[in-house]
Structure 1
Amino acid sequence: MTPADAAELLAHCAAFDRRTIGEADARAWARALHDVPLDDDLLDAVAEHYAHTDKWITVAQVRDMRARIRVGRIDAAHPVYDGNPDESGEQFVARRQAQITAAAEGKLPARTITQAIGAGPSPKLLALTATVVHPVDETDEPAPYVDEATRAEIRATLPGNRAALVELDVDCPNTRCRAARRHLCKSSRGKELRGTVHGQRRDAYATRHAQCPDCGAPPRHPCTTPEPHPARVRAAVADRPVPNRHHLDRLMRTPPAPRESRARHTSGGQHR
C-alpha cells in the first residue's frame, strides 16, 4: 500500500467517523499496511466495522477484519489440491497457494466438502434417479398410523386417575384452593391432588349434574339439606371411569417398600 492508497482508505474511514486526515496519517497507515493492497475486501472491512460500532477503526482492526472476510471464503470453498506426481515441492507450494488465494478472492464457488473431494454422485446417476423418483403431492395428507377407533380403545385402557376426576368440570369452591375448571385441586401446602378433589368441589359437581334420589332436587338446584344427600353424590360419580384392571392387579402384587428403621438416642447415650 502506498501513501496515496492509505489516504484513500482514510478518506473512506472519515466518511464514517469524520476524522481529519493529514500527510503524516497517510504515511503511517501505508507503512503499517505495506503488505496489504487497497482492494474491495479492505473497504468492506471498514464498512463491516462501522456497521456494528461507532468507535474509530484502527490499523490492526482493518487488517484483522479483512483477514476474516477472506478466511470465510476459503472455508466456504473447501479448496482441495490433488497435486501432480511429477511436480516439485516448490511447484506444489506455489500451486497450492494460488488455489487458496483464488478461494480467498471469491474465484472459487462455495461448495460442500463432499463436492470438493468429488465423492458425490455422478451426473449420470443423478440423471437416472431423476427419472425414477416419484413426485410427492404436498396436498396429500398422510394416513394416520393408528385409526381413530383403535386409538380410542387403547386410550380407554390406559391407567390414570386424572381422566376419572369428573369433578374437574366445575370450579373448586374451597376457599384455600379455588382451583379453576379443568385444574387439579391443591392442598394447603400448594401440592396438586392427583387422585381426589376437595369435598366441596365434589358436592358442587353433584348439585350441578345429578338429580337427588332422596329429595328429588333437579340438577343445578340444591337439596333440602345444607349439603347434598349422599345418594346424590353417589349418583353423580356413578359413571366415573375405572382405572385399568391390569394396572390395579400389578399394584396389588407389588409388596410395600420396607420402612427404614432409625436408632433413637437419648441425651445420656442409652437406647430406649
Structure 2
Amino acid sequence: MTGRPLRWPELSIACSWCKAQAGDLCTNQRGTREKRDGTHEQRRAAWVIAHVVCPDCHQPVGAPCRAAIAGLTLTGVHPTRDAEAVRTQPAARTPHVEALGDQLTIPPTE
C-alpha cells in the first residue's frame, strides 16, 4: 500500500477485477494504465459489502446482497446499501456519488 492519501475509500481494499493492490489505483486489465476517474464497480461493491448492512435484503456486513427473486444473482449491491455507505461512512462521498445527488436519498422507514 502506498503512502499517498486515499482518494476513494474503496482503495483500502484490493480490486478483484484488475488485481490492483490495496492503496493503488485501478488499472486496465493489463495493468499498463491507471484509472484516474474512480475505481471499478466490483471494488466499490466489495468495499460497501465490507462496511454496511443492506437495508433492502438485510444481509450483514461481509455478506453480498441477495436478489428478491430466488435463483437470481446480483452483480453488485442494492443502491440503498451504497447510499447507506455514503450516509454512514464520511469517506464514501465520491464524485460519482455526488453526481447522483438526491437519487441516493434513503426514504425514512415507517
Change in 2 beyond 3 A, CA 1:242/1:231:
closer
In the other structure, the counterpart of 1:168 is: 11
CA distance 1:242–1:202, shift in 2 (3 Å): closer
Structure-1 residue corresponding to 2:53: 211
Write the distance in 1 (CA, Å) between the matches of 2:80 and 2:93.
Answer: 20
Tell me the CA shift for residue 185 of structure 1. 0.3
Question: In structure 2, the residue corresponding to 1:192 is in which secondary structure?
Answer: coil
Contact persistence 2:48–2:81 (CA under 8 A): yes
CA distance in 1, matches of 2:45, 2:92: 18
Structure possessing the higher relative contact order (Cα contacts under 8 Å, 6 or more residues apart): 2
Q: 4+ residue runs of structure 1 moved beyond 4 angstroms?
A: none
Give me the whole-angstrom Cα distance separating, in 2, the residues matched to 1:237 and 1:201.
15
Paired residue secondary structure (1:168): helix
Instruction: Find out whether 1:235 has 2:84 as its counterpart.
Output: yes
Q: What amino acid maps onto 2:24 in structure 1?
A: H
Mapped contact 2:13–2:23 kept (Cα < 8 A): yes
The 1:166/1:187 distance shift into structure 2, 3 A limit, reads same
Q: Which runs of 5+ in 1 are unaligned?
A: 1-161, 244-272
Alpha-carbon distance in 2 for matches of 1:180, 1:220: 19
Q: In 1, Cα distance between the equivalents of 2:7 and 2:85?
A: 12
Q: CA deviation at 1:166?
A: 0.1
1:194 to partner: Cα distance: 2.2
> What is the percent sequence identity of the aligned residues?
35
CA distances 1:146-175 after superposition (whole Å, capped 9, x unpaired) = xxxxxxxxxxxxxxxx6330001111011x
- In 2, the alpha carbon distance for the partners of 1:164 and 1:173 equals 18
Q: 1:178 aligns with which of 10, 19, 26?
A: 19
| Distance in 1 (alpha carbons) for counterparts of 2:57 and 2:92 | 27
- TM-score of the two chains, using structure 1 as the length reference: 0.27
Query: What whole-Å deviation, never above 9, does each CA across 1:194-252 have from its counterpart, x for those lacking one?
Result: 23000010111111111111111111011113231111122223423769xxxxxxxxx
Q: 1:237 aligns to what SS in structure 2?
A: helix
| Structure 2 portions without partners, runs of 5+ | 68-73, 95-110
Classify 1:213/1:237 alpha carbon distance in 2 versus 1 (closer, same or farther; 3 Å).
same
Change (3 A) 1:165 1:212: same
Structure with max Cα Rg: 1
SS of residue in 1 equivalent to 2:11:
helix
Instruction: After TM superposition, give the deviation of residue 187 of structure 1 in Å.
Output: 2.0
Change (3 A) 1:193 1:242: same
